[in-house]
A and B are shown apart, each in its own frame.
Chain A
Amino acid sequence: MGLDPRQLTWQLLRDAASSVQGKDPGQWKAFAEERIDEVRRYWEDAMGGLRAAATQWSSMREFAALGSPSAMLPFFQFRDWLQALLDPAQAWGGGASELPGLGPHRNQQEAAQEVVRLSGELRKTMLEFNLYMAEGIPEVLDRLRDRLSTFDVDAENPLKSSRAVYDLCVECFEEVYARRTAEESFSRLYGELNNSLLRLRKHWLGQLNEMLRGLGMPDQEALTTLQKRQQELRRELRKLQGELQTLREAGSAPKQQQAKQQKGVRQPEKQAASGAKARKAGGRKGRARRRGGAASGTTTPGASPGNTSGGA
């Protein structure tokens, strides 16, 4: 009968509890420190493996590339496994990734080799990034231990709940995260991680495009070209609408002037009162339009009444 994980967790909690049961409640700190040290040791061991994997990347690749006499089969089975893990291209055909593509499918062969190469690059970068982030854990645990040691059962503000311990953990994690992400090496690793992923994505996209073209379907490249042309046309349309508006305004100006003059003959007394105001407003609008067109190199908003709504 398998062990229920909930029972196991409860048992662990009870074991932990019994280790300080009946003792001075102040001993919880010693208990916490012990557990933290335990986790720290465990983590350091795990880190050793990760570090080895990252720093010995090249030597492992060399080892994985050795020949495979049948007498040493078990050893070389392990080697094959390692090889597949580190560089599937090597495992695939004993250095196939180094060979040029041949025959009618040479392009596809080389494209597949490139996928394998880029995947390997991504795995390597991911390992380095994870290692960098994991290296901060011991510092988190040290901080947590120091922080816990400042709390006291009899203090005014003791740690009262598991939630408080959790909050303390989050605080320590965030502090260390902020410190490590402030380093230039983080910035470089994070950039490289994203770039490796994007290189792989771009390559896949190229393969997908090939396939779509083969099926006679529109591919991403075709869409990109259309999107670009559409934007160019939008800009051109805006420019032409602006020019048209300027021409319309220029054409209507003499008529407005003529109307004003005729009105002036009939009502000279009113013109005297309102003329200055009208000239001021007209000049202001005209200046606004001219400056808008010149600065943006595009158009004025009034140029496109079809795009407006709500009484602009």
Chain B
Amino acid sequence: MEKQDMSFPFLPGAGAPEELQKLFQQLTQGFENLARVKDVEVGCTPRKALYREDKLTLYRFQPPEGQAVDIPVLIVYALVNRPYMADLQEGRSLVQGLLAQGLDVYLVDWGYPDPSDRFLGLDDYLNGYLDRCVDVLRERLGRERLNLLGICQGGTFAVCYSALHPGKVSNLITTVAPIDFHTPDDLLSRMVRHIDVDLVVDSCGNVSGDSLNSLFLSLQPFRLTGQKYLGMLDLLDDEQKLANFVRMEKWIFDSPDQAGEAFREFVQQFYQQNLLVRGGVRIGDREVDPHCITMPVLNVYALKDHLVPPAASQALKGLTGSIDYSALEFPGGHIGLFVSGKANKLVAPGIGKWLRHRS
């Protein structure tokens, strides 16, 4: 039988067959590792539930043995995705970093809304749940005011809450928080701008986490649905890196459904009408006036953020009535700000230093 010439000179360097062969080898050898990392764990810092209401839980993270913590900070997470992203794993945890800075860290976990939560509105979330969590901590700690740290949509919530309840917030920290929803590079905003949100909520009730995931994936469809997984093949022989990848996958696709009414209000007032910047956001029967935010503000944003472009966060500057505004720029992406090695060195220490200076 004639021996086939396997050379393929289309590309200089390695030929295509050799490359394919290498790929199959990678797959075969890495298969065991892939099976081993199936059940990755997330959330590394021990925590204790302090308060529960409906699906919400208020947690306190336990500081490491011997670590004194004296400055309380309440993390307000987004309704989208789960808050363990702030405490993903050992060495990749914003929470650990904050504890190491001597901060006493609390977190609001909104839980997974189900159809019985369909009519929860932003008023219920902010003036109800969040306000009650703040009051629990004020009473427990014997303090009139707390430090708030909002993450992503939770940052937008923290801004609104601080404007509505300025007497309860001593310092406001926002991380990758959308403020101006109509910046030119905000694809997410353009995608939802002409969607009839009333039709969405009236016909779907709660909005499924899966549909939101599809929306997020469509921001960079070729990278996020194909290239990323081809890249994973390079990690197959490193169990640790593979586990990190799978852990991130778990977080990305662990998406709670969105309570219909809150979704309607958020998309219409913030994404479509951009009222936080233009003025006129209404939460319950009150209007949010950012000028009421007179406490010190630290705005942390990521320069390579494709979900919340830096300009969308930078808009906070000059919007509030605070005379003490600081910004912390992170040279990375939306998620990297919480889980990357660079973030460990920059973000938590930056927040710790800023807060200590003002406490």
Contact = CB atoms under 8 A, between A and B. Distances in A.
Do they bind each other?
Answer: yes
B37 to A, nearest CB: 23
Interface string A19-61: 0110001001001100000000000000000000000000000
Nearest to B13: A160
B253 interface: no
A78 B13 CA distance: 54
A164 to B, nearest CB: 8
Contact of B119 (A220, A231, A289, A291): A231
Contact of B223 (A174, A202, A234, A297): A174
B190 interface: yes
Nearest to A230: B116
B187 A182 contact: yes
A238 B128 contact: yes
A284 B142 contact: yes
Interface residues of B, number: 67
Interface in B319-356: none
A295 B16 CA distance: 67
B223 A304 contact: no
Contact of B203 (A167, A190, A198): A198
A contact face: mostly helix, strand, loop, or mixed: helix
Interface in A187-240: 187-188, 190-192, 194-195, 198-199, 201-202, 205, 220, 223-224, 227-228, 230-232, 234-235, 238
A63 B16 CA distance: 51
Contacts of A311: 50
A199 B324 CA distance: 48
A231 B124 CA distance: 9
B53 interface: yes
A159 B11 contact: yes
A119 interface: no
B64 interface: no
A28 B15 CA distance: 13
B40 interface: no
A289 B144 CA distance: 10
A167 B140 contact: no
Interface string B1-16: 0000001111111101
B139 A285 contact: yes
A191 B144 contact: no
A187 B117 CA distance: 30
A28 B191 contact: no
A181 interface: yes
A309 B202 CA distance: 35
A165 B203 contact: no
Contacts of B164: 295
A163 interface: yes
B142 A161 contact: no
Contacts of B12: 25, 28, 153, 158-160
A301 B116 contact: no
Given A174-B220, A311-B50, A301 B7 contact: no
B200 interface: yes
A306 to B, nearest CB: 10
Contacts of A92: none
Contacts of B140: 312
B203 A202 contact: yes
| Shortest Cβ-Cβ A-B pairs, 8 listed | A191-B194, A231-B119, A202-B203, A160-B13, A296-B127, A301-B132, A310-B49, A301-B136
Given A195-B196, A289-B135, A296-B127, 11 more contacts: A17-B7, A17-B9, A28-B9, A164-B11, A195-B195, A227-B116, A285-B142, A296-B132, A300-B132, A301-B132, A301-B139
23 contacts: A16-B10, A28-B9, A161-B13, A174-B220, A181-B191, A182-B187, A186-B190, A195-B199, A201-B204, A224-B118, A228-B118, A230-B119, A231-B118, A234-B54, A235-B124, A292-B132, A296-B127, A298-B132, A301-B51, A301-B133, A301-B135, A307-B52, A309-B49
Interface of A: 13-14, 16-17, 20-21, 25, 28, 31-32, 153, 158-167, 170, 173-174, 177-178, 181-182, 186-188, 190-192, 194-195, 198-199, 201-202, 205, 220, 223-224, 227-228, 230-232, 234-235, 238, 281, 284-285, 287-289, 291-292, 295-302, 304, 307-312
